[in-house]
Amino acid sequence: MRITINNKEYEIRDTKDEIRLIDLLRNELKLTGTKRGCDIGLCGTCTVLVNGQIKRACKLRLKQLKEEDSILTIEGLAEGNELHPIQEAFIKADAIQCGFCTPGMVLATKALLDKSPKPSREEIKKALQGNLCRCTGYQQIFEAVELAAKKMRCRGRRTPAAS
C-alpha cells in the first residue's frame, strides 16, 4: 500500500488489519509530533488531517485508508524552516504551556480555517471541542485561532498542499 504523508509517498508493506495510523506514524516513520493520549479518540492529541478532514490517528486503522488519501501531521504543516501562521499565532498568544495538546489543536485549527477563514468565537469553540487542554484554560487558544485567521487572511494564503 502506498500512502502520502506530509506530501511524501510511503510504501507500507505491513498493513495488518489492526495496525493503527498512530503506531505507523510514531513507531515506524518516527513522526512523533502526533501524540498518543487517551487511545480512544476523545482527547484530540492524536489529531491528523486526512484529505483535510480531522481524524483521530489512535482510532484509524491502516485498512481504512485508501491509496489516494493524503495525510497531514504537524511535521508537514510548516513550509521549510518557516513556521506556519497558525504555529506563529499559538506562540504569540501564549497558547502553549506543556505542549502536549498543541499539535492536535494546531491541526484542528487548520481544518477550521480552511473551511472558515474568519470564524466567530463560537465556531472556534465548536471546532476545538474535541481537543482537550489541561493547562491553558482555552482562552489563549481561542485568541491564537483568531490571530492565525487574521495572519492567514493578511498573507492571502491557506495552508500547504497536503490538506
Residues 124 and 67 grouped into a single domain? no
> How far apart are alpha carbons 153 and 71 in whole angstroms?
24
Show the domain range for 33: 2-76
User: Within a domain: residue 161?
Assistant: no
Q: What is the pTM of this model?
A: 0.92
Residue 162 has pLDDT above 60, yes or no: no
Q: How does pLDDT run across 44-54, given as a tens digit for each residue?
A: 999 999 999 99
Please compute the mean of the pLDDT values over residues 88-94 and round it to a whole number: 97
User: Within a domain: residue 21?
Assistant: yes
pLDDT of residue 17: 64
Residue 5 has pLDDT above 50, yes or no: yes
pLDDT of residue 163: 42
| Partners of residue 82 on adjacent β-strands | 79
Mean pLDDT over each residue of the chain, to the nearest integer: 93
Q: Where are the beta strands (DSSP E) in the chain?
A: 2-5, 8-11, 47-50, 53-56, 70-72
For residues 18 and 77, which has the higher predicted lDDT (pLDDT)?
Answer: 77
